[in-house]
Amino acid sequence: SEQRAQFHQALLEQVEQGGAGADYLKSRGISADTARTWQLGFAGGRLVIPLNDAAGQTVGFCGRATGNQEPKYRNSSCDLLFQRNGLVFGLDQAKAAIRQGGSALLVEGPLDVIQLHQAGFTNAVACLGTSVSALQLQLLQRHGTKQLLIALDGDSAGQAATERLLIQLLPQLSAGGLGVSVVPLPQGQDADG
């Protein structure tokens, strides 16, 4: 999309000339190559993360504050295109690895997904929020997920979210469609709520 290209260009300029966007990428250990792969952008003090559907079409954006602005994350408003409960972040990039290995690694935020992909965990996806909708589960299963690995933050909020998620997943699991396990995040991946 045109908007995505503008945001992306703004970030590439930051990377070349220095600036808050470039500093933030560096602080998160995200390389310029990774920023290109994910078409990351920059606007108004926020890192702009395109939200793509499984086919790779950008349907919305998520802005992550690079300083201490509130809210930390801001998603573009839900419209017909962007139904948050029907979008799995990173699925367009992860679907080949998921199909190949049969498992999807579910983490909390889009930046966690991007960092994990950069570290070689190319089956990582996120659900933008702490609950997973039936739609999102169907989407994951349609793309070959047989085993869902849940790696939410290790803090108490993350643990509570993991427990809620497991309770929520029980009906689907007992229907026999999906295995699930909780895994600690790989060392050095501090998830970024």
User: What is the per-residue pLDDT across 150-173, written as a single tens digit (0 to 9) for each?
Assistant: 987 777 877 888 888 888 888 877
How big, in percent rounded to 5, are the helix, strand and coil portions of the chain?
A: 40, 20, 40
The position carrying tokens 């952008």 is 41
The position carrying tokens 């890192």 is 47
Copy the structure tokens of residue 86. Answer: 């029907």
Per-residue pLDDT at 98 exceeds 90 = yes
pLDDT, average across residues 97-108: 95
Per-residue pLDDT at 187 exceeds 90 = no
pLDDT, average across residues 83-111: 91
- Give percent of the chain with pLDDT exceeding 70: 89
Measured between alpha carbons, how far is 183 from 169 in angstroms, rounded to an integer? 16
pLDDT, average across residues 70-99: 80
The position carrying tokens 């029980």 is 170
- Give percent of the chain with pLDDT exceeding 90: 54
pLDDT (tens digit per residue) in 3-23? 999 999 999 999 999 999 999
Tell me what pLDDT residue 193 has: 46
What's the chain's average pLDDT?
87
pLDDT, average across residues 42-68: 91
Copy the structure tokens of residue 71. Answer: 């809210």
- Asked whether the beta carbons of 34 and 96 are under 8 A apart, the reply is no
pLDDT, average across residues 63-92: 78
